[in-house]
Amino acid sequence: MIGIVGELEKFLQYLDRGDVTEIVFQSGAKAAAKKKGKLRPVTIEPLSARHILKLVNDTPLQKLVPREDGASAPTAANINGVNYIATLARSGEMLMLRVRREGQRTEPPKVPIGVVAPARISVPARVPAEEERAPLREPPPKEVKGPAAVQPPVVHRPQPKMSYRPPPEASSLGDFVRADLPVPAPSGLRALLEQALAQSASDVHIMSGEPARFRCGGRMVPHGAIISDEQAREFIMPLLNERNAKQFAELGYADFACQLEGAGRLRVNVNKQRSGIKGCFRLIMAEPPTLESLGLPHELRQMLNYHQGLVVVSGPNGAGKTTTLAALVDLFNSERSVHIITVEDPVEVIHPVKKAIVSQREVGAHTKSFHSALKGSLREDPDIIAIGELRDRETVEKALEAAETGHLVFATMSAPSGASTIDRLIDMFPPDDQSQVRATLAGVLKFVVSQRLLPRKDGDGRVVAVELLTGGMALWTLIRDDKLFQLPSLLQRGRAFGMIRIEDSLNELLSSGEITMETAEMFADDARALGTTPQGQPQPPEAPERGKKAAMRNLFSKKGG
């Protein structure tokens, strides 16, 4: 009952706002909140009669009894201490549920029920109690003429008992709630997140028995008093919908994204641990970033010249791969009229429609897996496909197939460098298949962007250092001939091809005074190349300040990911 009532509560929370007077659920239409007399949709997909019945099942609203082709009388129901008035109307197989707070006035519907025609299904009505059931009567017999005509007795047959049980494949209503609509947050959690935003933190950790911790500039900073397990649960558990609560109960963790009022969009991980419950909140930027705002190399704008191929963004966990992927999607969304499909787990940065159409799908809510989403996306007329992460062989195989058949594919992968990224892509396949994979990869690979986040010299956030591999005959030959050990030599002479060594990027940060030599040595692959220009000459004693680019790089420190 907790899970079902929880689904209903997520919709009833809209009534906590002063400008929302009623929530309307109609089969064949999207759930809607009435605001200033107008219905505004609050779900992504239309609801079916099954969803509406599942919504009221095992809740106080289950007692609603609609008349055939009519509406039930307004019925009071108390849910978690709040009084509501609800009506349930029925017209054939169509259902409409209307809920408002007690004391709020609402007008009757101006359009008849069933104005939106859904797929026809068999929906059982409410089952009356045994003593309420009317007997099932056979039709009257035909009249028989003659003196021997005898009227047969009326046969009373008990109606078979029926109960509604949603089929296993029926989706949870929580899967249809729009991810970009704000969800009311517990006041304590909202205050904590607002303080984290004010301090430019990228993550907030809430752990039972410990004070909250903010990740600022890559360092964990304690904040406030110790949080008990009860407080942690009050902060975290209201954010879980039915699907996430089920995953949390069965697996001990749940990953999802949500939009909280006053705190913006968050990527959330909830898990069980020794002292109780723990939540990790990644603060996501309100708008998609740009390449310039992140301080990424201008060479990446060359992607606008490509219509097919594979682009991989790699780096260790927490290196800003998702942020860079969002910037690449925004680049095409702003510059080209194309159809972009993103497959993410979960959906983080929301992309508004600009020049392109952006379809964002979440693994678990909208699709079963990355692999199945990619398989289906090839039939959806995409121009660009963005994959949240290349995790397994099946996903890599589909990504290569999409890139080979004329699509531009963006993807992220956890790997420390460009060479290791290519090696890992190939090593996901059996040895007998790797020769063919090398040939395919050599034909489709356009860019490998390998990045690392470094602490700034002044301690105010982090900056990004990038290693860039560009596709071309030189790189493709190394991949096809299995000679990636020669990649460092290619990078040294590859500046003319648009390639960037990680040491070149570190030297640029050193010359602008953004990082220390100690930090550069820690992240360099070849420390001997530090302190020199890309051509191998020593840096001048006072290199010019590149203030604008340096300032923009700091955006990674505020919204990592």
The per-residue pLDDT for range 472-530, each reduced to its tens digit, is 898 999 999 999 888 888 888 888 788 999 999 999 999 988 888 998 998 888 888 88
Q: Does pLDDT of 375 surpass 50?
A: yes
Under the banding of pLDDT at 50, 70 and 90, the label for residue 177 is: very low
Q: Which CATH number fits domain 291-558: 3.40.50.2300, 2.60.120.260, 2.30.40.10, 3.40.50.300?
A: 3.40.50.300
Under the banding of pLDDT at 50, 70 and 90, the label for residue 373 is: confident
pLDDT digits (tens, 9 = 90+) for 11-34: 888 888 778 888 898 888 888 888
Distance in angstroms (rounded) separating the CA atoms of residues 203 and 281: 5
Under the banding of pLDDT at 50, 70 and 90, the label for residue 539 is: low
Q: What count of other Cβ atoms lies within 10 Å of the Cβ of residue 544?
A: 8
- Helix/strand/coil (H/E/C) assignment for every residue in 245-285: HHHHHHHCEEEEEEEECCCEEEEEEEEEECCEEEEEEEEEC
High-pLDDT (> 90) share of the chain, %: 29
Could you list the beta-strand ranges (E) of 92-137.
94-101
* Residue 444: half-sphere exposure toward Cβ, Cα within 13 Å: 28
Per CATH, 187-284 and 291-558 having the same topology is answered no
Mean pLDDT is lowest, of 49-63, 256-270, 536-550, for 536-550
- Of the candidates 137, 127, 185, 174, the one whose C-alpha atom is nearest the C-alpha of residue 157 is 137
Buried b (16+ CB within 10 A) or exposed e, 196-218: beeebbbbbbbbbeeebbbbbbb
The secondary element (H helix, E strand) that includes residue 71 is strand 70-71
- Which pLDDT value is given to residue 50? 79
Question: From edge to edge, which strands make up the β-sheet containing 210-216?
Answer: 219-227, 210-216, 203-207, 276-284, 264-273, 253-260
N-terminal to C-terminal alpha carbon distance within the chain: 36
The secondary element (H helix, E strand) that includes residue 56 is helix 49-56
Mean pLDDT of 131-150: 46
Do the beta carbons of residue 465 and residue 502 sit within 8 Å? yes
Mean pLDDT is lowest, of 3-7, 27-31, 116-120, for 116-120
- Residues in contact with 333: Cβ distance below 8 Å, sequence separation at least 6, in sequence order: 288, 340, 351, 353, 354, 355, 356, 358
Q: What count of other Cβ atoms lies within 10 Å of the Cβ of residue 160?
A: 6
Mean pLDDT of 409-428: 92
Q: Which residue has the higher pLDDT, 126 or 345?
A: 345
High-pLDDT (> 70) share of the chain, %: 77
pTM of the model: 0.64
- Which pLDDT value is given to residue 164? 36
Do the beta carbons of residue 165 and residue 4 sit within 8 Å? no
The ranges assigned to domains in the chain are: 1-118, 187-284, 291-558
Beta bridge partners of 445: 310
Mean pLDDT of 145-149: 48
Tokens of 199: 């301090």
pLDDT digits (tens, 9 = 90+) for 309-353: 999 999 988 888 999 999 999 999 999 999 999 999 888 889 988
pLDDT digits (tens, 9 = 90+) for 227-248: 999 999 989 988 888 888 888 9
Under the banding of pLDDT at 50, 70 and 90, the label for residue 71 is: confident
CATH of domain 1-118: 3.30.450.90
Mean pLDDT of 380-396: 91
Q: Which residue has the higher pLDDT, 260 or 114?
A: 260
38-45 contacts: CB < 8 A, separation 24 or more?
41/178, 42/11, 42/14, 42/177, 42/178, 42/181, 43/173, 43/176, 43/177, 43/178, 44/176, 44/177, 44/178, 44/179, 45/176
Q: Tell me the CATH architecture of domain 187-284.
A: 2-Layer Sandwich (3.30)
Under the banding of pLDDT at 50, 70 and 90, the label for residue 554 is: very low
Q: What one-letter code names the amino acid at 194?
A: E
Beta bridge partners of 213: 205, 222
pLDDT digits (tens, 9 = 90+) for 277-311: 999 999 988 889 999 888 898 889 999 999 999 99
Mean pLDDT of 437-444: 92
